[in-house]
Structure 1
Amino acid sequence: MTAPALTARPPLAARLRWAAADGLTLVGRELSRLRQEPGELIAALIFPAVMVVLFGYVFGSAIKVPGGGNYREYLMPGLFVMVSFTSVMAVTLRVATDASRGVMDRFRAMPMARSAVPFGQAGADLIHGVLALVIMAATGLIVGWRAHRGLWPTAEAFLLLLLMRHALGWAGCYLGLVVRNEQTADQFVPLVFPVTMLSNSFVPTGGMPSWLQAVADWNPVSAATAACRQLFGNPGAPAAGGDGLAWPLAHPVTATLLWSIALIAVFAPLSVRTFQRRGR
């Protein structure tokens, strides 16, 4: 007599529900951890507001906006993108801290979906991103920034920022699993700032040397910043048709979507696979 197959895999829909439920549980874990360490959350929310005031008033009197306009309106899309990009190192640090303290090993010993841990980290960071955008947008309104194209394009811009942040959250999760050491991850934090600065976020790229301008124009930070300027109707938005512009700046919304999809397609499976293999 043949024994029943007790190890048969459950249907795909059941596995997806299981992974989603476990992932949401871990999102809740990250949020509860912040309640126990409110200083981390407060610092993360104060940082965007400080950036608005610091860059807006320090650079505002020294930089001329191409085509004219208020520099703080030119600046705000760049700051939105900068904060979204710096989140990659925050996720890297949190994941590396959990790995170095043995938390990841305990997760592997539990009957949970292997994709739940990376999903939980990226999902929790997305909630942090919503709070940061709210704080930054409120501060921007106080200093004179406005969105001029109406409700739907404004919502599109913020959704695009959150999609990019979510994609970067997967990248941060993978880096944290690879590094596995919070001290090493902390040393990587300053490396994000050159990426955000070498772009059109704070200054026009037209005054850069030709080789450096090419790097800045193809930087995904520049594409995301140009997309937000276009959707918000802020100064510095790419001209219709994009004549003479690099392709990412001529089609910034499409370029940002493609960057985000590519990051998720690469780092989501890498994160899950790395989490699985670290336990072997």
Structure 2
Amino acid sequence: MLQQRTKHVLSLGLGLLILSDTASADTVLSRPVDYVWVALCAALVFTMQAGFALLEGGSARAKNTINVIMKNYVDFCVGVLAFWAVGFGLMFGSNYTGWLGLDHFVPELSNTRNAVFFLFQSMFAATAATIVSGAVAERMRFTPYVIGTVIITSLIYPVYGSWVWGSFYTGSGWLQTLGFIDFAGSTVVHAIGGWCALAAIIVLGPRLGRFGRDGSVRPIAGHNLTLVGLGVFLLWFGWFGFNGGSTLAANETLGPILANTQLAGAAGVMGALLAMRLARQPLYLTTAVNGG
């Protein structure tokens, strides 16, 4: 369960700490410097895929490491393609009802503004799918997992995203019109990923060998804590792009956003260490990264 818990703490902990006014289509990527900034942030968010792969691979048993990392590679590739073909249109297409978009499927990406916007948003869609990977590690076969990724990135994620972020492009969203604000994806990305993960583990049940015949819990330790630690460092690095790029513009809000991201991660780690010390427990790496 380490990988599931760590990803959700990292996602929800940092995402909920940073709020800002919701961007509109008029302020999104309006200058060349904005293109450069958001493209750079998209590259930073991409490094989170490596972080998730290391975290989950190290948390799994050695015999399942390749399967776990393969799922991370494929869910990113499949997720980006599904989002491009269907999800982008549902999320950001013209939307007269506030529920979902009706055009911009398979979007044309020859325009720099459109291409950079799609690039950044596709990273978010892939991240929502990757959150599920940690929850179902060592529980789910490869093909059903890929099918689930397609459903998440082409339907579940973009429909909810349209309700909140549709106005970033040509649409609108009914939640946004009610005053709902989600700056960096606390609900659009991380809650959606978490809810899908919860549904999956309810259906799949526990990992084989997790419980004895008498119902007692059998700890299943990860095989490589070094990979876990390095994975969390990469996730933390990627968070600067995740939160900083959510401005969709290079403006005066960047400093506070990046500083808050740094402080939130550091405070989370120190809070976990302090809690272990007060409880007179050993200082476990796994607990520390859960805090971060």
Normalising by structure 2, report the TM-score. 0.30
Larger relative contact order (Cα-Cα within 8 Å, sequence gap ≥ 6): 2
Which structure has more helix as a fraction of its residues? 1
Normalising by structure 1, report the TM-score. 0.31
